[in-house]
């Protein structure tokens, strides 16, 4: 994009704000018009004005009534020469325009190709992200399997483990048998103890009965003895009275 022309007044410093004679769009339109009409050149008279003057001179010469065929031919050749000179930049400009159009088409195709590749790259990135996640999961599984394998490898062989299991089963069976025997012995001891308690209770009752019988016999013997003493005493008194 061509820059707009800057207008500066007298005494304006270079550090001031830029002022433009036209807006950016209007300035582009003017530049485009000048390029098409070629009314502005860096040096000499503009080609279009020169062509216009050549044509005007030729037209005015043909309108004269005098015999000026040679001048008309000379002016016509000059006009045609100027016309060819004016057409040459136009041809070049058209060639440049065609080249620019082709370049633009190539650029559009290249842009479409780049956009397509960008989309493909984005799809590839998404696929790679999925593959990365799957690889992470797979790696985690492999690490877990490796950890389990190490734990298994650290354990003793199956034969030793089975031997240890058999020994433990034998010990458990022996303990169960011992427990069963102990339970039976304990049950027998309970029964014997219950029988002993019953015998002790019976023996205690028998002893109490015997003690009661002995106490009763002793009481009866004491009563009988006291009765005899009383009777003996009464008989002695009677004999004494009889003697008296």
Dihedral-angle region of residue 11 (phi above 0 means left; psi in -120 to 50 means alpha; beta otherwise): left
Which two tokens mark 168?
Answer: 């433990």
Is 238 buried (19+), middle (13-18) or exposed (0-12) by CB count in 10 A? exposed
Lookup result for tokens 């102990």: 182
Q: How far apart are CA 53 and CA 74, in angstroms?
A: 14
Which two tokens mark 185?
Answer: 């012995």
Of the candidates 24, 30, 32, which has an alpha carbon nearest to the alpha carbon of residue 6? Answer: 24
Q: Is 8 helix (H, G, I), strand (E, B) or coil?
A: coil
Of the candidates 112, 114, 44, 139, which has an alpha carbon nearest to the alpha carbon of residue 82? Answer: 44
Strand intervals (E) in the chain = none
Q: What percent of the chain has pLDDT over 90?
A: 25
What pLDDT, on the 0 to 100 scale, is given for residue 14? 41
Q: How far apart are CA 225 and CA 31, in angstroms?
A: 173
The DSSP line for 67-135 is --HHHHHHHHHHHHHHHHHHHHHHHHHHHHHHHHHHHHHHHHHHHHHHHHHHHHHHHHHHHHHHHHHHH
Q: How far apart are CA 58 and CA 183, in angstroms?
A: 147
Q: How far apart are CA 87 and CA 94, in angstroms?
A: 10
The tens place of each residue's pLDDT in the chain, 244 residues long, gives: 334 444 343 333 444 444 444 555 676 676 666 655 555 555 666 777 777 787 887 787 777 767 777 877 888 888 888 888 877 777 888 888 889 999 999 999 999 999 999 999 999 999 999 999 999 999 999 999 999 988 888 877 888 888 888 899 999 999 999 999 899 899 998 888 888 898 888 888 888 888 888 888 888 888 888 887 777 777 666 666 666 5
Is 123 buried (19+), middle (13-18) or exposed (0-12) by CB count in 10 A? exposed
Q: pLDDT per residue over 26-73, tens digit each?
A: 766 766 666 555 555 556 667 777 777 878 877 877 777 677 778 778
The pTM for the full model equals 0.36
């Amino acid at each position: 994009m061509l820059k707009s022309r800057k207008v500066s007044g007298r005494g304006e410093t270079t550090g001031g704000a830029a002022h433009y004679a036209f807006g950016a769009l209007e300035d582009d339109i003017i530049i485009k018009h000048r390029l098409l009409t070629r009314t502005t050149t860096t040096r000499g008279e503009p080609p279009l004005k020169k062509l216009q003057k050549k044509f005007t001179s030729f037209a005015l010469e043909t309108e004269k009534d005098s015999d000026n065929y040679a001048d008309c031919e000379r002016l016509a050749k000059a006009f045609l020469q100027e016309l060819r000179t004016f057409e040459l930049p136009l041809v070049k400009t058209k060639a440049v325009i065609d080249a620019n159009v082709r370049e633009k088409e190539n650029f559009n195709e290249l842009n479409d190709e780049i956009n397509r590749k960008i989309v493909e790259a984005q799809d590839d990135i998404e696929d790679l992200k999925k593959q990365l996640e799957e690889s992470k999961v797979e790696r985690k599984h492999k690490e877990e399997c490796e950890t389990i394998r190490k734990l298994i490898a650290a354990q003793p062989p199956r034969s030793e483990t089975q031997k240890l299991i058999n020994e433990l089963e034998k010990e458990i069976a022996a303990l169960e048998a011992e427990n069963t025997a102990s339970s039976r012995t304990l049950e027998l001891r309970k029964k014997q103890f219950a029988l002993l308690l019953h015998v002790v209770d019976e023996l205690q009752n028998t002893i109490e009965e015997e003690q009661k019988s002995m106490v009763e016999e002793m009481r009866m013997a004491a009563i009988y003895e006291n009765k005899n003493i009383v009777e003996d005493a009464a008989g002695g008194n009677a004999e004494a009275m009889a003697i008296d």
